[in-house]
Amino acid sequence: MTDGDVTAASAGAGPLSGTLVLDMTRALAGPHAGMMLGDMGARVIKIESPTGDDSRGWGPPFLGEGEDRESTYFMSANRNKESITLDLKDEDDREVMTRLVRRADVLMENFRVGVLARLGFSVEHLHELNPRLVILSITGFGHDGPEATRAGYDQIAQGEAGLMSLTGIDEPTKVGVPIADLLAGMNGAYGAVAALYERERTGRGRVVRTSLIASVVGIHAFQGTRWTVGGEVPGLSGSHHPSIAPYGLFHTATAPIQLSCGSESLWQRFAPALGLDPAEARFATNGDRVAHKDELIALLEGIFAEESAEHWLEVLTDVGVPSGKVRTLDEVYQWDQALSQGLRIEVDHATKGRLALPGPVLRLDDNDYAGARREHIAPPTLGQHNESIRTWLAETEDDTGR
């Protein structure tokens, strides 16, 4: 059994079992979408240029050195995939791509607008080859409009779409992960699955489009309606909620903690636990507390500074006020609760042996494992499945080329 057969067989569980996804994307937004589909049982074939996904070179950290090194960044978005290298300017490789398209259910791409068509695979041609194909296209700024041709990178999108104007204390700050990319990937996977569901009724695929800026604007939530409905331009919110108080980060004698008084009943329990009068005029209602937020934060900071984080977390837990630590990532991936949810998995990498990776976010039914798979596939080395995918195509094609 070839490596490709092992990967395909391992995709046999889950709601997307039997679905073939061609992942032509690079970097993070598209690869994250493909990984989500793979987690749910799809067979995902990552189609890379001979030089590979850009993120294979993003580091450090790397595992290994020289030509043998593997990027930990690449590993974050490419589990449960096979890799084949194709040069779409080469006639033989274009033929392999054509054969794959005829077999596929989903094709994902995040080229700049017009690039895929120039490579000979326009939307029209793709649907001529396979009318049932769902095409997922992820761009930086959208596929049309006055700025459609701009290259999209996460931090630029965070700034352009307003997220950085809300984040930080002294100056606009990016989120600590590429959130625009990740959201675009999540939205793309959601859209692709919706199009697959529609195809069951219509028999035809369609193009699903999303972008980095759309995905960031789409999570503005109450901050968006502060402007669109309330006419108020939000500013930097730091570590405290702009519309609920107290809700945020506080410093204790030993370490910061976070808490949320998201209802008046919580405030009624919280205030006496810290020796405060819940009916005091400045803080009696949430509106009062938000209006006097700076005074409230200063008062609470003084109280919390008197005891340790462990003391205050115990006090808050005893009165039923939601609270928690601020964990570093090494703590998260050793935390019993995170482990119980399958948020750390282990895989066998082709060249690096047994590796630990962040795990899928969904669990199905009462499974005690993450995602739809009992066993996950390690991120592939570049072109790891070149031979096995070509062999599979040759052995399974019928007279129509499918």
Compute the distance between CA of residue 13 and CA of residue 246 in angstroms, rounded to an integer. 45
SS (H, E, C) 120-148: CCCHHHHHHHCCCCEEEEEECCCCCCCCC
Q: How far apart are CA 15 and CA 345, in angstroms?
A: 20
Helix, strand, coil % over all residues of the chain, rounded to 5: 40, 15, 45
CA 204 to centroid of chain Cα atoms = 28
Q: Which residues pair with 356 in a beta bridge?
A: 346
> Is 366 one of the annotated active-site residues of the chain?
no
Query: 296 and 261 in contact (C-beta within 8 Å)?
Result: no
Structural contact between residues 39 and 13, judged by C-beta atoms closer than 8 angstroms: no
* Structural tokens at position 291: 């209006």
- Compute the residue count for the chain: 402
Query: Helix H segments across 130-263?
Result: 154-160, 179-202, 212-217, 222-228
CA distance 134 to 130: 9
SS3 48: strand
Longest CA–CA span in the chain (Å) reads 81
Q: Out of 181, 294, 330, 368, which one is annotated catalytic?
A: 181
Cα torsion through 172, 176, 181, 185, rounded to 10:
-130
Rounded to an integer, what distance in angstroms lies between the CA atom of residue 126 and that of residue 149?
Answer: 22
**CB-based contact 204:133 (threshold 8 Å):** no
Catalytic residue numbers, as ranges? 181
